[in-house]
Amino acid sequence: MSNFKPNYFQRRSKPQGPKANERIKALDVQVIGSEGNNLGVMQLKQAIQMARDEGLDLIEISPNANPPVCKIMDMGKYKYDLQKKANQAKKKQKVVSLKEIKLRPGTEIHDYNFKIKNAKKFITKGDKVKFTVKFKGREMQHVELGKDLMKRIIEDTKDIGKVETHPKFEGRQMIMIIQPN
């Protein structure tokens, strides 16, 4: 009796990256040589043979073109260049996060100044700041205190940021978002 057990549930991973050599499905392809010169439209088998003669691979560059555009080059170098481009794009992108600062209508001046100092620090770093003024109980009868507080925040941050979302009520809280200039 053998110890061999077939694994029926084995996962087959899809090949990653662009199609190359025999994985290309088109019959005719537009071929670009290894030096970058256009060799014209030819049959797939002939193009693969040309690539093999040079010791390189035939890689599908533009699969949606008619006929598909393929280039004769080294697969490892091509994957390396793609990875390098992806890393460069990732470096250049800026992630903007949203910081939240919570206040009350009766916030004292020292606490207010401290929170505004933090908000300015966030805005100069490039983050958006969400100001939330919470109202509890009878404070709902003095909504104008919250509006005055929001106006003061806009006035104090106008030199480094601009209002993205103007003050509005959501339930028992007033919300405003300020973004960097």
Residues 69 and 119 occupy one common structural domain: no
User: Residue 161 contacts by C-beta under 8 Å, 6 or more apart in sequence?
Assistant: 123, 129, 178, 179, 180, 181
pTM: 0.54
| CATH assignment at residue 125 | 3.30.110.10
Tokens of 18: 């662009």
Helices (H) and strands (E) in the chain, counts: 4, 8
| 111 occurs within a structural domain | yes
**Res. 6 pLDDT band, cuts 50 70 90:** low
| 141 occurs within a structural domain | yes
Residues 71 and 37 occupy one common structural domain: yes
Residues 175 and 114 occupy one common structural domain: yes
Mean pLDDT of 38-61: 92
Residue 28 lies in domain: 21-78
Tokens of 68: 């598909």
The overall average pLDDT reported for the chain is: 89
User: Residue 118 contacts by C-beta under 8 Å, 6 or more apart in sequence?
Assistant: 101
Whether residue 129 is predicted with pLDDT greater than 60 in this model: the reply is yes
| 175 occurs within a structural domain | yes
| 8 occurs within a structural domain | no
**Res. 162 pLDDT band, cuts 50 70 90:** very high
